[in-house]
Amino acid sequence: MSCVLILFISIAVIALIVIGAIAVRRDCELARIARMLIERDPDSNARITLSVRSRGLIALARAVNRELDEESARRIEDEREKQDSQESLAALSHDIRTPLAGAKGYLQLAMQEKNEDARAQYLKAAASRLDSMRDLVDGLLDYAKANDEAFPLELEEIDIVSALSDALMGFFPRFKERGWEPKIEVRGEGLFVLADRESLGRILSNVLSNTLRHGSSAPLILIERDGNMTRVAVSNKVPDSTAIDPELLFNRFYKAGASRGSDGSGLGLAVVARLCERMGGSAVAKVDGELLELAISLPESWRRESTGLSC
C-alpha cells in the first residue's frame, strides 16, 4: 500500500513540476510579448511570434497582430493623405500664382500703354486671368462644401431627364459656339433618382463643363437603369486619350496631358465624385479608343411618368 502511495505522490509531484514549468514558460512568453510591444518602433511592421504555443497564447498573438496590422494600415493611409495634401497644396499654390501673375503683368502693360485699343486688350486679358482665379476659388468652395458632412443634403425624387435638360440649357450658348449638338439617348421611362436637387445640378454642370473644356467632339449622353440605380453616361472624343488615367480622373487637382495648362481648377470632377458618394451613388471614368466616358450612378426612385427632354 505504501508503495502505491509513494508512486501516486511521485506522479503528483512530477505533474506539479511540469505544470509549474509550463506556467513559468507562459509567464516568460507573456513578458517577452509585453516587452516587444513596449519597445516596438511605431513605424515597424514587426509582428508577434510565439516560442511557446498554447491555445490561449495563439489567440492572444492573433488578436495583437490584427491590431498591429490595422495600426500599420492606418499609418500608411495617414502618410498617403499627408502626401496628397502636400501635393494638393503645391498644385493649389501654382494654380493661384499663375492667374495672379498673368493679371498683374497685363495690368502693368495696360498702365504703360498709351494706345486705347491696346490698353483695352490688356485689361480684357487681365480680367480673364482674374476670372480664372474666381473659378478656382469657387471650385475650392464647392469641394469643401461637398466634403462637409455637416452640410445637409435634402434628398428628394427628381426626374433625371428633366434635370439634364435644365443643365443642358445652361450650356446651350457654349455648345452652339462650338457647333456641337449633344446626342441624347434615354432607355426606359420614369427615370427618377433620389438626390439633392442643388447637388445633382452641380454634378451635371461639372460633367458637361469638363466635356466642353477638354473634349473635341459633341457629347453622346446615355440615360438608363442599371439595377436599382439610374446611370447617366457622357462620352465624347478627347485630343489625347492616352494621357488620361481614368483611375485618377476624379482625384482633386488631377489634370491630364494638355489640360494641365488649361483654366480648369482640377476640382470639378472631384466634387462630382464626392457628391455622388454622399448621395449613395458613384462616379466612374472609362477610356475607349479616342472616347472618354464619364458616368454617374444614383439611387433610383420609381415613378410612372417622366417629363421628357427638351433643350
Output the pLDDT for position 6: 64
Cα separation of 256 and 271, whole Å?
17
- The kind and range of the H/E element at 19 are helix 2-39
Cα separation of 298 and 195, whole Å?
7
- Window from 5-9, 46-50, 225-229 with minimum mean pLDDT: 5-9
Cα separation of 231 and 97, whole Å?
38
Write the pLDDT tens digit of every residue in 104-113.
Answer: 898 898 888 8
Cα separation of 244 and 241, whole Å?
5
Cα separation of 287 and 252, whole Å?
19
Q: Give yes or no for residue 280 having a pLDDT over 90.
A: yes
State the average pLDDT for the chain. 80
Cα separation of 211 and 232, whole Å?
14
Provide φ and ψ at 205, rounded to 5°. -65, -40
Cα separation of 191 and 174, whole Å?
27
- Window from 4-8, 114-118, 245-249 with minimum mean pLDDT: 4-8
Output the pLDDT for position 74: 83
Write the pLDDT tens digit of every residue in 212-245.
Answer: 888 889 999 999 998 899 999 999 988 887 888 8
Write the pLDDT tens digit of every residue in 145-181.
Answer: 888 887 888 999 999 999 999 999 999 999 999 999 9
Its pTM stands at: 0.65
**Of the candidates 272, 275, 266, which has an alpha carbon nearest to the alpha carbon of residue 294?**
272
- DSSP-assigned beta bridge partners for residue 295: 233, 284
- The rounded percent of the chain whose pLDDT value lies above 90 is 27
- DSSP-assigned beta bridge partners for residue 20: none
Question: Where residue 58 falls among pLDDT bands split at 50, 70, 90?
Answer: confident
Question: Where residue 143 falls among pLDDT bands split at 50, 70, 90?
Answer: confident
- The kind and range of the H/E element at 210 are helix 197-214
